Chain A
Amino acid sequence: MITKRIIACLDVHAGRVVKGVQFVDIVDAGDPAALAARHAREGADEIVLLDITATHEGRQTLLDTVRRTARELFVPFCVGGGIRSAVDAAQVFEAGADKVSINSAALADPMLIDAIGRSFGAQAVVVAIDARRDPEATDPVRDAQVFVQGGRKLAGRRVVEWAREAESRGAGEILLTSMDSDGMRTGFDCELTAAVSEAVSIPVIASGGAGTVDHFVDVFGRGKADAALAASIFHFGVSSARSLKQELARAGVSVRLPC
């Protein structure tokens, strides 16, 4: 039976993990390679590394980080942040990523999705969408506003139509972040996630708002998510992806266990 994925996310700035999971007993809590390896060991189904440096000089640091992180990682590994062209993507793949996540660059030039998909396959292209419900729209959820530049600027697109376009251009997955829920720890936006998941045939990864194990149960059920991003699972009262998954299994969610 296909299982729901728990994806560990590391936010990286200038080669160091700047937020996300906090370990108490790891020697270097800021080293992406050490943290990614630990997540994989402790049951994460996939690792996402998001580079928030977003400077030109940061590119080489990112590639070094990806190379070091990928070296001993044998679960799917996705890298996002600052990928603006097919050449950028190719370098990240070359460094050892299995997938790239693109967001603002895909909105600025949707053909980028086609281009990366043609060269590396649809499974390698994750389109990340940051969306906020639009109370003025006829359907505030399906017509949630899409934002770029880390949520600072309106993209002028609506979440469901943009997700569909991304799919039709050859995206392999959608990483959907609810800006209303992000950081609130009041639960994922299940309506938003379900609206996107039902509109496309590719997997949808839910992100933003998790505060308890029950929130994951909810987004896999009501939210119809195929995977969920756990940016800081240590804040949820569990000690690892494995224990999160054990609790999910007890609640009837199909997960990869033992892992």
Chain B
Amino acid sequence: MRVTVIDYKAGNLTSVLKALRHLGADVEVTESDCALVENAERIVLPGVGHFAATARLDQTGLTQSIRAAISRGVPFLGICVGMQWLYAGSSEAPQQPGLGHFKESCARFPEGHEKVPHVGWNSLEAGAKSRLLAGVSPGEFVYFTHSYKAPVSADTAATTHYIEPFASAVERDNVFGVQFHPEKSGETGLKILRNFLEARP
């Protein structure tokens, strides 16, 4: 399985690459190779850090390449900020548009007596028809670290509760996103990454 991982200089790729390779994927990394991304078999967009970092995808032209790949059915997985980028945007960087594949926008957890960021292991309530979360039982735990999140909507594949329910996974056809870090979520995370690697276009 060939996987193209996009490096847009938002944090550390090592763990994502390691997990994909552990699962037997043939991984290639690119910062700006539009042709490579357009012709990819599978695309992973990782990312921890600030939503503004996704501006680099526009500057390099990769946004259009990803759009083209997605429209021809290439399986795409966005992780953390990579998932948030699939939406219209985020209040973390209001001037920076997302891909807009999902029409909602991401926002910060409301202030209250709970801590923000949301850091640690929290449980998933996955929808029955999700391909990405096939074999994940209700209540399985995954590792989160984030302050912004996507709202629950028709495309939500799993919800998690912290302060309020939010979309911890999103899925429509060949486009998948996870707010948590599957590469840091033990066996459950590896199962989810394996599902992605095995998803048919």
**Interface on A for B, CB 8 Å cutoff?**
1-5, 40, 45, 70-72, 74-76, 93-96, 98, 120-124, 172-173, 201-203, 226-227, 256, 259
Contacts and interface: CB of A to CB of B under 8 A. Distances in A.
Contacts, number: 90
Given A40-B186, A45-B121, A120 B11 contact: yes
Contacts of B161: 1
13 contacts: A2-B120, A40-B186, A45-B120, A74-B189, A75-B186, A120-B11, A123-B48, A123-B146, A124-B11, A172-B145, A173-B119, A203-B117, A227-B120
Interface in B156-201: 161-162, 183-187, 189-190
A72 B22 contact: yes
A98 B121 CA distance: 15
A74 B22 CA distance: 10
Contact of A203 (B11, B119, B187): B119
A201 B119 contact: no
B117 A5 contact: no
B145 A123 contact: yes
Given A3-B141, A98-B12, A256-B141, A70 B119 contact: no
Interface stretch (B13-21, B34-42, B61-69, B82-90): B13-21
Contacts of B49: 120-121
Given A72-B22, A120-B11, A123-B48, A1 B122 contact: yes
A106 B143 CA distance: 27
B118 interface: yes
Contact of B184 (A1, A75, A95): A75
Given A123-B145, A172-B117, A202-B115, A3 B14 contact: no
B46 to A, nearest CB: 11
A201 B121 contact: no
A121 B48 contact: yes
Given A5-B120, A93-B14, A123-B145, 4 more contacts: A40-B186, A76-B143, A121-B12, A172-B119
A5, A95, A98, A124, most chain B CB atoms within 10 A: A98
A121 B120 contact: no
B143 A3 contact: no
Given A74-B186, A75-B184, A124 B122 contact: no
Nearest to B187: A74
B123 interface: yes
A226 B120 contact: yes
Nearest to B53: A121
B136 interface: no
A254 to B, nearest CB: 10
Contacts of B187: 74
Contacts of A40: 186
Contacts of A201: 115-117
Contacts of B123: 1
A76 B186 CA distance: 9
Nearest to B15: A98
A1 B165 CA distance: 10
B186 A70 contact: no
A70 B122 CA distance: 23
